Chain A
Amino acid sequence: MATQPNPFAPGALYTPPNSNAAILTAKPGVRFLSQAVQPPSQVYVALNDVLRIVAASSQANEVLTVNYRLLLPSGTIVAGQSSLQVSSDRAINIHDEPLAEGFLLSVSCKAAAATTRGQTFARIFLTNPALGQGQPSNMLMADYVTTAMAPAHPGGRVLAPTEGPGWVHFGQIPNPTPGSDFIIQVANNARVRALGVGAFFSTSAVVANRVPQLKIGDGIGKTIFQSPTGVQIGANSGNTFFSASAGFGGACVLPPPFGIENGLWGFPNDCLLLPPAQIYTLTINLQAGDQWNAVDFLIEEWLDNV
Chain B
Amino acid sequence: MTYICLSCKAVYDPIQRDGTTHGHVCPPDRVTTPATFDATGTTLVTPEVRTPIANPRNENVRPDLMYIEGKPYLVTRDPNDSTRRIEKPADTFIIAEGLGRALYVEGQATPGPALPLPTKPGT
Contacts and interface: CB of A to CB of B under 8 A. Distances in A.
Interface of A: 58-61, 85, 87-96, 132-134, 169-183, 185, 187-189, 202-209, 233-235, 237, 275-276, 278, 280, 284-291, 293, 305
Given A172-B16, A285-B48, 9 more contacts: A91-B61, A172-B122, A174-B22, A175-B122, A188-B95, A209-B42, A233-B41, A276-B58, A284-B35
25 contacts: A88-B20, A89-B61, A89-B93, A91-B61, A92-B66, A134-B85, A172-B17, A174-B24, A177-B10, A178-B110, A182-B27, A185-B25, A188-B63, A188-B95, A205-B114, A207-B37, A207-B40, A209-B41, A209-B42, A275-B63, A278-B25, A280-B27, A286-B31, A290-B114, A293-B113
B15 A185 contact: no
Given A94-B68, A185-B58, A286-B34, A180 B8 contact: yes
B92 interface: no
B63 A173 contact: no
Contacts, number: 178
Nearest to A174: B12
Chain B: interface size category: 35 or more
B20 A171 contact: yes
B111 interface: yes
B10 A174 contact: yes
Interface string B5-42: 00011111101111111111111101100111101111
